[in-house]
Chains A and B, each alone.
Chain A
Amino acid sequence: MDPEAARTARESLDLAFHMSNILDTGLDRHTLSLLIALSDVGLNPEALAALVKELRKEPPRITTTPSAP
């Protein structure tokens, strides 16, 4: 990967991260870069979004489970 491409990639990621923050997605930089990579290999963005959502939903379950047993 030549430096030019790397720079473009970084800038793109920066911009994307900014946008992500404006939209208040709550994604960190690394996660975002993973998502971009996945989306670029052709995975469905909808599925990715669903995945993010579902995995994030875990916390309530965890916070509530301890009180159960």
Chain B
Amino acid sequence: MEEEPNNNKVFDLIRELVVRLLSNSSPTQSIDSERALKYAMRILSSRMTPSISIDEASMVESIKRNLVNEGKSSDALNFADLYNKFSSKSGPGSVKNKWGLMYMLKVISEDRKKDKKSDSRVSSGFFASTVNGGLPALFDDLNENSRKTLDNGKSSSRFGGGGGVLLISKDSENFRDLAFREFGNLLKEESEVLEGVLVRDVLYTCQGIDGKYVKFDKNLDGYAVGDSVKVPRATKVMVRKLCELGWLFRKVKGYVSECMDRFPAEDVGTVGQAFCAALQDELSEHYKLLAVLEAQSMNPIPMVSEATSTGNYLSLRRLLVWFAEPMVLMRLMAVLVDSCKVLRGGAMAGAIHNHAQHGDPLVQEFMRRLLRRVCSPLFEMVRSWVLEGELDDIFAEFFVLGQPVKAESLWREGYRLHGGMLPSFISQSLAQRILRTGKSINFLRVCCEDQGWADAALEAAAAVGTTTRRGGLGYGETDALEALVIEAAKRIDKHLMDVMYKRYKFKEHCLTIKRYLLLGQGDFVQYLMDIVGPDLSEPANTISSFKLAGLLESAIRSSNAQYDDPDMLDRLRVKMMPHGSGDRGWDVFSLEYDARVPLNTVFTESVMAQYLRIFNFLWKLRRVEHTLIGAWKTMKPNRITSHFLTKQEGAVKQQFVSTLRRCQVLWVEMNHFVSNLQYYIMFEVLEVSWAHFVDEMEAAKDLDDLLAAHDKYLDSIVEKSLLGERSHSLFKTLFVLFDLILQFRSHADRLYEGIHELQARTVDHSKSSRGRTKSRLKSNNESSEVGTWVSGGRKALTQRAGEFLRDTRKDLEVVAKEYSSSLEGFISQLPLQQHVDLKFLLFRLDFTEFYSRTRLKK
């Protein structure tokens, strides 16, 4: 505007104005008029660019407001009235730059007011300099009056305002004036960028755009005022501080756009997407704020004088205040972005949640808003999992993991918790419950082919008051979630248990297994043992399992087992275990129970293997018992044995009696052991465990409880029947004892066979002495093997009997010795066992303290 062509006219106007102003204030100062004119030209030609947007109405509005504020409302009304008239004037002759006039009037009036105030407050000009203009005007300029560049007028104003300093003389004043102007020029030319420009730059940078002076510096990793731009250090620091917001914004924005770009190609995950969307929303809030600030910076109410209050003017300092809050939030977002960069799904939600534990209500509110958005996919997953059993988790973000497995292992292995994806606001127990509920639904659907769970789920949702629709839950409503999960779990578990018990007859199956696999059905076992016994004595590889199956069938049919549910009996099978070359049928025979889906969730292969072990043990025990009973059948004292050799001479007869006695005693000892062991197993182990199991089965609320109860049942049987790890050596001793008993049986059988044979010979012999021819014929017919006996005569017979008895006696002694040492070992090891019930076994075996006393004697 300084290059106006009609300068002359303007110049004249200015001259007149200056003269007028000067004459107004002090007519004596006409000497100065030339200088004042120059000065006026400088001011007018200064770079005071009217960068403010020209809005007349708001200007007038502001004037009126000021008047009202001063308590001059009537003046305000008058003013408004006048202005209305004034603004209605148009056409030639009217004032063209109405806004300019208003603006000028306002500024002049404010300046005057200010002057008056300071005058009234400080009477002496000397003090005025210290109080009013204590700070040099130059610095006033820098800090407060941001819009106005420093110019010569300012330096002069300092002379005027802070007159106290310049009392000296007119000559020296010229020097100072000059020097000061020089200094001001220097500042203006070289080191000052308009603060307004800086403010605008800062606002730009906060949107991630480089400003004119403030640019992103890669080395510094931040926005800074360029080195070439000379601004005071303090301003530089402040700009850097403000631009932290821009840096943070850049970071957050970068993350969001990176996620958006990556999305279709890579799996960002629904939680990640929600996070991005939430961040995006927060960023748009940020944009809004910046827009407001920018409008404010574009539409200021500028003040000319440095001392006037700067109103709504947006300075760097003001920005600092404005930015305080967004800075906190943006910093928070940047931290979240940093900590979530590598995370996904539940882990991401958990990481964000960790930042939500904050005392600042602002941060809390922000985090709640953010988390609600972020967690909504997660909660949706929980909801559909708990109520529908659906695992719609294509990005593997949920804390329940599904694996494709066979139906039988669906419950145990099909689903598991993924610890890393479990956000910390969902407790471990709740997570377990969530897992189990969904699992139950899937179990019902897949294994039980049941549809009733849908009703149960609906009912649960209705009970909690949550709709089964999407989006019913959100972050911060963990209680509601928990309530929903608990309700759903309760109902679904109940339904599942009903299905298990009623439709699949779980309890009945358990009972059947106990009866047949754990040999609880006595008559059946007895019968089975009787009919398969002969077959099982054969070598294992010669036995046909089909034949055994047939025998099993007939055992069932001829015992009370025939009245059981045929469906369950159908599942009972004979199983031949893989056998080696030397194995007998006894070693490989076993029964097996075919638990189908869904019961094989409980009776898994490993469980069935346990059952098999128990069965083998019990089967062996039964066999030993059976053997002993069989031995008793032959050993029963009868006339034959008691009258045998009555006519014999002392030594042999003595031998005979003592051998028999030894045999009987040994049998009784063995029988005592076996029957007590049998009793213990049946009543202390199986029945007690079963009773506990039934109780727990009744109390079981879900399948996990049931599984746990069953495992406990099985474990307690294994543990108490000496099958556990800890009683391994004891178990081995037990088997040695069993083997010895079986050996004893064969020896005893041989003994009695021999006795019977001898008996037969003796009878034969005495008969033959009466009728020789007849007996010879008979003996020849009977056997050629014992023919030598007969021919040996009575004496030889006695000798033979003596030898036989001696040999048998020796064998029996060997067995008895081994047996008693093994038994002693067994009994001495028994108290070392941990299980308390084994004490009862010891107590039973050593009821008369016979064994403990013999041990003491040694």
Contact = CB atoms under 8 A, between A and B. Distances in A.
Chains A and B are bound partners: yes
Interface of A: 1-2, 4-9, 11-13, 15-16, 18-20, 22-28, 30-31, 34-65, 68-69
27 contacts: A4-B91, A4-B92, A8-B92, A11-B89, A15-B89, A19-B82, A23-B109, A25-B109, A41-B13, A45-B100, A46-B104, A48-B44, A50-B304, A54-B157, A55-B18, A55-B21, A56-B21, A58-B29, A58-B32, A59-B26, A60-B125, A60-B160, A61-B159, A62-B25, A62-B26, A65-B167, A65-B170
A5 B111 contact: no
B783 interface: no
Given A22-B75, A46-B48, A61-B160, A31 B105 contact: no
Contacts of A59: 25-26
Given A25-B105, A40-B97, A44-B48, 15 more contacts: A1-B92, A5-B91, A8-B89, A8-B91, A12-B93, A42-B1, A42-B97, A43-B1, A45-B101, A50-B107, A51-B18, A52-B108, A58-B36, A58-B160, A68-B169
A49 B50 CA distance: 13
A55 B104 CA distance: 15
A4 B90 CA distance: 11
B101 A36 contact: yes
Q: Secondary structure at chain A's binding surface: helix, strand, loop or mixed?
A: helix
A22 B211 CA distance: 43
Interface in B1-52: 1, 4, 6, 9-10, 13-14, 16-18, 20-22, 24-26, 28-29, 32, 36, 39-40, 43-44, 46, 48-50
B16 A34 contact: yes
Contact of B302 (A39, A46, A47, A62): A46
Nearest to A69: B169
A7 B91 CA distance: 11
Nearest to B95: A12
Given A9-B94, A64-B167, A54 B44 contact: no
B163 A64 contact: yes
B43 A5 contact: no
Interface of B: 1, 4, 6, 9-10, 13-14, 16-18, 20-22, 24-26, 28-29, 32, 36, 39-40, 43-44, 46, 48-50, 63, 67, 75, 78-79, 82-83, 85-86, 89, 91-97, 99-101, 103-109, 111-113, 115, 125, 153, 156-157, 159-161, 163, 166-170, 302, 304-305
B163 A46 contact: no
Contacts of A39: 95, 97, 100-101, 104
B92 A2 contact: yes
Nearest to A18: B82
Contacts of A45: 50, 97, 99-101, 103-104, 107
Given A55-B25, A61-B159, A31 B20 contact: yes
B113 A43 contact: no
A64 B670 CA distance: 137
Contacts of B89: 8, 11-12, 15
Given A34-B20, A38-B17, A58 B25 contact: yes
A17 to B, nearest CB: 10
Contact of A56 (B25, B39, B40): B25
A41 to B, nearest CB: 6
Contacts of B111: 49, 52-53
A38 B14 contact: yes
A16 B275 CA distance: 59
Nearest to B104: A45
B130 to A, nearest CB: 14
A9 B93 contact: yes
A36 B13 CA distance: 10
A26 B20 CA distance: 13
B582 to A, nearest CB: 117
Contacts of A26: 108, 112
Contact of B304 (A25, A35, A49, A62): A49
A19 B26 contact: no
Nearest to A26: B112
A68 B21 CA distance: 25
A49 B75 contact: no
B78, B91, B108, B159 — most chain A CB neighbours (10 Å):
B108
A44 B50 contact: yes
B16 A61 contact: no
B48 A40 contact: no
A37, A55, A64 — most chain B CB neighbours (10 Å):
A55
A24 B18 CA distance: 20
Given A8-B89, A30-B20, A38-B14, A60 B163 contact: yes
B157 to A, nearest CB: 6
A5 to B, nearest CB: 3
Given A19-B79, A58-B160, A64-B125, A48 B104 contact: yes
B152 to A, nearest CB: 10
A55 B40 contact: yes
Contacts of B85: 11, 15
A7, A62, A63, A64 — most chain B CB neighbours (10 Å):
A64
A30, A36, A46 — most chain B CB neighbours (10 Å):
A46
Contact of B13 (A18, A37, A55, A69): A37
A21 to B, nearest CB: 10
A25 B105 CA distance: 7
